Amino acid sequence: MEIRRTKPMKGNKHNCNCVSDLFDTYKDSDAYVLGTGTSLSGFKWDLLNGKFTIALNDAVKAEGFNPTHHIFSDIQIWKRYLMMNLDPVTAMVCQRKARDQLIRSEHCKFKDQIFHFNKVGQVNQMDHMGVDSFFVSRTIATGGICLAWKLGAKRIFLLGVDGYKLDNAYYHDGTSKKNERRKERILEFNRIEQDRHRWWQKDMDDLKQFFIKKNMFLGPYPNNGIYNLSEMSTIDVWEKVPMKEVIGNDCFC
């Protein structure tokens, strides 16, 4: 079933767009937050077109995928997305400085689709730093969850948020990061967990405790909650649910 906005996307004055312009635009919808982990190797990305989707970082570049939202946090990577032909349905969400860089560029063709958020490094700061604040410390996945929450999601499904690399592959397309100098340990099924992934788990746990205090996203499946559809993910803060049970049996090539 196609999910439609419950409110229009208000962005049309790109000098002042902020993420609060998008609040509750998908109230009571299911949200799909997609990373680029190897668990999505062979995934049929186009199955989620027409649904409430949030692409984390380079997930927006997955072939055939037209997410409703794209979020990135690192300011310095704005040039990765400058020359994209961003689909008209997609709202790009980033920090203000990155948004300003994109808007200043004569090459950017989607200026009215860019919205900024304020990054906070501690989860409880979201209650004190304004409605546009998202908790992003060491993984953009927490920012994706915060975006889904503030846009009104009833349930949030994480895909490709793995917390490991598989053999030499880090991404769903089989590629790997370059020049990495991180502590690693080998887990079962040839998974390699890096030191950064343990910090991701900590950030996710902090976010879960934040929601518990607010009596939100408490689950269990299939009720209102946050669910990890990556079966082998090292991030076990959220209840794991088989991807095929949510997306369908034909979700992989």
pLDDT digits (tens, 9 = 90+) for 101-115: 999 999 999 999 999
Our count of domains for the chain comes to 1
pLDDT for 2 equals 42
Predicted confidence (pLDDT) at residue 245 exceeds the cutoff of 60: yes
pLDDT for 177 equals 75
Compute the average pLDDT of residues 178-184: 79
| 227 burial via Cβ count (<10 Å: 0-12, 13-18, 19+) | buried
Predicted confidence (pLDDT) at residue 248 exceeds the cutoff of 50: yes
pLDDT for 158 equals 98
Residue 9 lies in a domain: no
Q: What are 203-219's pLDDT values in tens digits?
A: 999 999 999 999 999 98
Residue 17 lies in a domain: no
Q: How does the average pLDDT of the chain come out, rounded?
A: 92
* CATH number of the domain that residue 42 is part of: 3.90.1480
Compute the average pLDDT of residues 214-239: 96
pLDDT for 37 equals 95
Tokens found for residue 230 = 């990556």
Residue 252 lies in a domain: no
Compute the average pLDDT of residues 8-37: 83
C-alpha–C-alpha distance, residues 188 and 203, integer Å: 23
Q: What are 119-172's pLDDT values in tens digits?
A: 999 999 999 988 899 999 999 999 999 999 999 999 999 999 999 998 778 889
C-alpha–C-alpha distance, residues 60 and 83, integer Å: 13
Q: What are 69-80's pLDDT values in tens digits?
A: 999 999 999 999
pTM of this prediction? 0.93
Region for 171 from its dihedrals, namely left if φ exceeds 0, alpha if ψ lies in -120 to 50, beta otherwise: beta
Predicted confidence (pLDDT) at residue 8 exceeds the cutoff of 80: no
Residue 43 lies in a domain: yes
Regarding predicted confidence, which is higher, 11 or 185? 185
Residue 217 lies in a domain: yes
Residue 69 lies in a domain: yes
pLDDT cut 90: percent of the chain above it: 81
C-alpha–C-alpha distance, residues 31 and 153, integer Å: 6
Name the nearest CA neighbour of 73 among 172, 178, 147: 147
CA atoms 123, 243, 247, 57: torsion sign? positive
What residues contact 54, with CB distance under 8 A and at least 6 apart? 31, 32, 33, 34, 67, 68, 69, 70, 71, 144, 147, 148
Please, are residues 67 and 55 in contact by the beta-carbon 8 Å criterion?
yes
Residue 16 lies in a domain: no
- The parent domain of residue 89 ranges over 27-247
Residue 122 lies in a domain: yes
